[in-house]
């Protein structure tokens, strides 16, 4: 998929589920639970042990999902996860090396930013979609003000997004959200309660799409 195809699919589907700290024994079950909720985007963070291997497994066993990598803070990590098959790159920061590397390879990249300077720097490096992080701490009013003069790039709200505030972030100008610990709960994974993960993800999917 081209970068623009991934961006467009995010604009349409609006939800990326973030997996952090899971093991390769559970990763396919988690992905299946997420997909059962109507979400096709799953991000495995690079500070999860064996992240590249899990991305490879998911790309092979869940070909209908759009699998990406998160917490990609170096060009080396970007190279590793793209080799494993990641379709997009997400980071908590604005690293020009990571952004330029992905843009050159036509890979969707969503660097993290919290200020106008960070957002515009990312845009100048070639980013088309920005992860506003940590979104809840920054607040919807701040994001709305930020969006006013910076209307040439899409915002993705990540960090503290809940069912009750999703529409506030959308109203502030965000095209989608990233959710992790609120839906992939440690207890559910430990108990192999995949249905509860499906139920939690479905709440977010239904809220943002309706």
Q: pLDDT over 90 for what percent of the chain?
A: 99
DSSP single-letter state for residue 122:
H
| Mean pLDDT, residues 173-192 taken together | 96
Distance, CA of 112 to CA of 135 (rounded, Å): 10
- The CATH number of residue 146's host domain is 3.20.20.70
Let me know: does 42 contact 68? Beta carbons within 8 Å.
yes
- Dihedral class, residue 51 (left if φ above 0, else alpha if ψ from -120 to 50, else beta): alpha
Residue 13 pLDDT > 90: yes
Q: Which pLDDT score, from 0 to 100, does residue 189 have?
A: 96
Residue 176 pLDDT > 90: yes
Domain extent for 98: 3-209
pLDDT in tens, 125-169: 999 999 999 999 999 999 999 999 999 999 999 999 999 999 999
Whole-model pTM above 0.85? yes
| Mean pLDDT, residues 85-112 taken together | 98
Q: Which two tokens stand for residue 180?
A: 């992790």
Distance, CA of 45 to CA of 19 (rounded, Å): 6
Distance, CA of 163 to CA of 154 (rounded, Å): 21
Report how many domains make up the chain: 1
Q: Which pLDDT score, from 0 to 100, does residue 210 have?
A: 87
Query: Mean pLDDT over all residues of the chain?
Result: 97
pLDDT interval class at 41 (50, 70, 90)? very high
């Amino acid at each position: 998929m081209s970068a623009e195809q991934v961006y467009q699919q995010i604009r349409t589907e609006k939800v990326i589920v973030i997996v952090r700290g899971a093991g390769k024994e559970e990763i396919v079950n988690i992905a299946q639970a997420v997909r059962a909720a109507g979400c096709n985007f799953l991000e495995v963070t690079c500070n999860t042990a064996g992240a590249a291997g899990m991305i490879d497994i998911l790309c092979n066993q869940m070909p209908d999902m759009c699998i990406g990598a998160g917490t990609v803070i170096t060009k080396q990590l970007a190279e590793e996860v793209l080799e494993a098959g990641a379709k997009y790159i997400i980071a908590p920061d604005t690293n020009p090396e990571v952004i330029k590397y992905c843009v050159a390879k036509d890979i969707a990249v969503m660097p993290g930013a919290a200020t106008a300077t960070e957002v515009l720097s990312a845009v100048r490096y070639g980013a088309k979609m920005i992860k506003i992080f940590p979104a809840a701490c920054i607040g919807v009013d701040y994001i709305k003000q930020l969006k006013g003069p910076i209307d040439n790039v899409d915002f993705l709200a990540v960090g503290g997004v809940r069912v009750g505030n999703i529409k506030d972030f959308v109203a502030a100008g965000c095209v989608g959200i990233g959710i992790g610990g609120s839906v992939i709960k440690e207890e559910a994974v430990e108990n192999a309660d995949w249905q509860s993960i499906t139920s939690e993800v479905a709440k977010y999917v239904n809220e943002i799409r309706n």
